[in-house]
Amino acid sequence: MEFEEIEDYLDASNIFDVDPMDYALVNEIEDGGEEGDEEDSMSDMSSEASSGSEAGDTPTVDISHFKDMVTKLDAILKLLFDHFHNTRCVDHDHGEFADEAHSPHALSRSQFLILLNIFNRIILKTFKSRYTQFLIFWFSSLDPQFTDLFQGLLVSKALFEVEEPVITRAAAASYIASFVSRAQFVDGESARRVVGLLCEFLANELETFSEVVASDGSASVSQFSVFYAVAQAVFLIFCFRWRDFTSESRMEDEMDEVNDTRISSKKWIPALDVIQQAISSPLNPLKVRCSAF
């Protein structure tokens, strides 16, 4: 939570119904073991705020506790950024490596895969993680292969791993939107490839919706939560990267009467045609607000 949200809430009631620092992992984690330990550890982080409260009591909250916790978490994140940055700089200064396994690229790849695994197991399943994900966002910028691997994980989670919980798939779609729309190192070709996959998914979902309506006569909008999350991702990426989604068509024979030059005609890439279909369908994503993501 932001300081302003906390302070506004305290001004209104001075009491939290639950401990807001208890950012437990989404209960879809089924493996137990490591994940369970991590969830317990995250709950322990909030023990100061609720210490002294009996079971069933509503804990009062000291705003200074949150400021101290935010300062600690910010410091940890900065140390991680500095560590990876300094390790990368030192490795590049070492020159040639006889053992390829200990080369700078091998070390960076190993670090990235560890971060990717942590993101997949924890960050992706943590509700409203505000800043932690930017560590892997930054690391993905260091190598085009890292960028592809990260985008591949997100696309796979959102579109193809249908056994994943809906909230996890929707979160993955949200991360795709945030990453592709803002990361300057994601080039136009990559953005078009990702949006093409997202749009293909939307087309398939529209077809599924039509089949369900044809067989049952009706369909629940709640069945298509991932559809709305993916549509929102396409909208967000388009807002930031729309220039990458135009393609040159033939040179028109028309002449610009003012400048006396030929007019170059542009059109949207074919993948975006599904957006008009989606808006015209009963599932119209413009009527649904995906505020949770």
Does residue 3 lie within any of the structural domains? no
| Domains contained in the chain, number | 1
Could you give the percent of the chain with pLDDT greater than 90? Answer: 46
Q: Is residue 66 part of a domain?
A: no
The C-alpha atoms of residue 220 and residue 204 are separated, in whole angstroms, by 17
Q: How far apart are CA 62 and CA 70, in angstroms?
A: 13
Mean per-residue pLDDT, 32-38: 48
Among 171, 161, 157, 152, smallest CA distance to 229 is for: 171
> Domain for residue 285, yes or no?
yes
State the DSSP H helix or E strand holding residue 251, giving kind and residue range, or none if neither.
Answer: strand 246-255
- In this prediction, residue 65 has a pLDDT band, given cuts at 50, 70 and 90, of confident
| Residue with more model confidence, 248 or 125 | 125
Q: Which of 153-167, 248-262, 279-293 has the highest mean pLDDT?
A: 153-167
Answer yes or no: is 143 within a domain.
no
pLDDT tens-digit series, residues 54-63: 555 555 667 7
Q: Is position 202 within any domain?
A: yes
Please check the confidence at residue 240 and state whether its pLDDT lies above 90: yes
Q: What percent of the chain has pLDDT over 70?
A: 65
The CA-atom distances, in angstroms, between 124 and each of 76, 140, 169, 283 are 19, 16, 9, 26
Residue 203 belongs to domain spanning: 165-250+258-293
Q: How many CB atoms lie within 10 A of CB 3?
A: 11
Q: Is residue 190 domain-resident?
A: yes
Q: Answer yes or no: is 169 within a domain.
A: yes
Q: Per the domain annotation, does 179 fall within a domain?
A: yes
DSSP state of 183: -
Mean pLDDT computed over 108-116? 93
Largest Cα span, the chain: 82
pTM: 0.69
CA-based nearest residue to 23, from 47, 46, 50 = 46
